[in-house]
Amino acid sequence: DGQSTEHDEL
């Protein structure tokens, strides 16, 4: 999947 969906923001 294209962009990482790891969400590092609050």
- Alpha-carbon distance of 5 to 8, in angstroms, equals 9
Please, what is the minimum distance in Å from the beta carbon of residue 10 to other proteins?
5
Please, what is the minimum distance in Å from the beta carbon of residue 2 to other proteins?
7
- Alpha-carbon distance of 10 to 2, in angstroms, equals 21
Binders of other proteins among residues 1 to 10 (CB under 8 A) are: 1-10
Total interface residues for other proteins by CB under 8 A = 10
> Contact positions toward other proteins, by CB under 8 A?
1-10
